[in-house]
């Protein structure tokens, strides 16, 4: 029996995720959006591409959540996108209400699903979905570290003129300016990256990684990144749906791990059919631990704001 994924939000990220899911042969897709005709039109366009792309996976567009019933995984991308000069934190109040409403609709129809949150500010929106759904913390996971790590790997591969597949890296922390790339765990086919790049230049690449989303926003002028975010969410969905047990950096609700409790923070997790099946605790150096705690403090401010708003 084929797997079923619902993607909520038929904007650029959601539609691209639907495309990747079908064309990679991951799952049938239900694409949901409140804008009348948009999910139906994008779904039909993608289905008309199926004969060319040579797949038989179904993509259904809908303004109702009813077709999403009994989804195995739900990817939530709904919310307003960042505009030039807007931080992720500026989005919080509007997107909090959107994600809360979406989660209520989804949880009532697919109580066994794993929720993958993409909406920004990511760590706060994970908290919203977790609270509203009432799901176990293993079943709510945020797409953050995979995207941040992908950007880091991309920039390193560009710098060194090597395949992106040669770069292994890890980015922890909140999804934003306080993310924590770890040069100590960054290698080029197992060789420490510090053998190739001077510390000052490596710090410049890390800084570009931290501002990767803002760089794309400034270039596009009227939108934000969507190809890489969609690919990152689909990698997570595939690992969950097919019990791949990939070890990936994702936003997980911590309950004492890394000395942090009650916050969604980007850490290495094992993703399988049970959702988050393991949180891997690394032995961090004092400066790495301090950076992670600083990132957690930034997330805490967002959670405190959510509490003030009644969540």
Asked if the structure places residue 167 within a domain, the reply is: no
pLDDT at 292 over 90: yes
Asked if the structure places residue 257 within a domain, the reply is: no
DSSP helix/strand/coil, 145: helix
Q: Measured between alpha carbons, how far is residue 66 from residues 56, 75, 97, 118, 245 in Å?
A: 22, 16, 20, 21, 30
Asked if the structure places residue 69 within a domain, the reply is: yes
The mean per-residue pLDDT over the stretch 17-29 comes to 98
Cα–chain-centroid distance for residue 202?
A: 25
Question: Catalytic residues, which ones?
Answer: 175
Asked if the structure places residue 81 within a domain, the reply is: yes
Q: What is the enclosing helix (H) or strand (E) of 167?
A: strand 167-168
| Domains in the chain, number | 1
The string of pLDDT tens digits covering residues 178-197 is 899 999 999 999 999 999 99
pLDDT at 14 over 70: yes
In this predicted structure, which of 74-83, 126-135, 199-208, 299-308 has the lowest mean pLDDT?
74-83
pLDDT band, residue 301 (cuts 50/70/90): very high
Asked if the structure places residue 303 within a domain, the reply is: no
Q: What is the 3-state secondary structure (H, E, C) of 46-86?
A: HHHHHHHHCCCCCEEEECCCHHHCCCCEEEECCCCCCCCCC
The CATH number of the domain where 97 resides is what? 3.40.50.720
Asked if the structure places residue 53 within a domain, the reply is: yes
Q: How many residues does the chain have?
A: 311
Asked if the structure places residue 43 within a domain, the reply is: yes
Strands 180-181 and 171-172: antiparallel
pLDDT at 1 over 90: no
Asked if the structure places residue 109 within a domain, the reply is: yes
Note down the domain range covering 73: 4-142
Determine contact, residues 59/39, Cβ cutoff 8 Å.
no
Q: Tell whether omega for the bond before 170 is within 30 degrees of 0, i.e. cis.
A: no
**Nearest to 282, CA basis, from 295, 271, 266:** 266
Determine contact, residues 278/162, Cβ cutoff 8 Å.
no
Angle between helices 227-241 and 12-23 (to 10 degrees): 50
The string of pLDDT tens digits covering residues 194-239 is 999 999 999 999 999 999 999 999 999 888 899 999 999 999 999 9
Cα–chain-centroid distance for residue 134?
A: 20
The reported pLDDT for the residue numbered 87 is 65
The reported pLDDT for the residue numbered 66 is 98
């Amino acid at each position: 029996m084929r797997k079923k994924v619902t993607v909520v939000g038929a904007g650029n990220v959601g539609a691209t995720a639907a495309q990747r899911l079908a064309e990679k042969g991951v799952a049938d897709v239900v694409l949901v959006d409140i804008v009348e005709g948009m999910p139906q039109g994008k779904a039909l366009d993608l289905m008309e591409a199926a004969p060319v792309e040579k797949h038989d996976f179904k993509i259904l567009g809908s303004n109702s959540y009813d077709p999403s019933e009994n989804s195995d995984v739900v990817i939530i991308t709904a919310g307003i996108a960042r505009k030039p000069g807007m931080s992720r934190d500026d989005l919080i109040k509007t997107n909090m209400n959107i994600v809360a409403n979406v989660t209520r609709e989804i949880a009532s129809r697919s109580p066994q699903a794993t929720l993958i949150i993409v909406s920004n500010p990511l760590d706060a929106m994970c908290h919203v979905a977790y609270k509203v759904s009432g799901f176990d913390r293993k079943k709510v996971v945020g797409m953050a570290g995979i995207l941040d790590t992908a950007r880091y790997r991309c920039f390193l591969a560009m710098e060194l003129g090597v395949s992106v597949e040669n770069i292994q890296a890890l980015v922890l922390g909140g999804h934003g300016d306080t993310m924590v790339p770890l040069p100590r765990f960054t290698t080029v086919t197992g060789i420490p990256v510090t053998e190739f790049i001077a510390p000052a230049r490596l710090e410049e690449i890390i800084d570009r990684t931290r501002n990767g989303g803002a760089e794309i926003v400034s270039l596009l002028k009227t939108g934000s990144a969507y190809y890489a975010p969609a690919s990152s969410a689909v990698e997570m969905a595939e690992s969950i749906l097919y019990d791949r047990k990939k070890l990936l950096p994702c936003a997980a609700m911590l309950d004492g791990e890394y000395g942090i409790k009650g916050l969604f923070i980007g850490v290495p997790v094992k993703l399988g059919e049970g959702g988050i099946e393991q949180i891997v605790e690394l032995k961090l150096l004092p400066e790495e631990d301090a950076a992670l705690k600083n990132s957690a403090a930034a997330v805490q401010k967002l959670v405190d704001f959510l509490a003030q708003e009644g969540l």
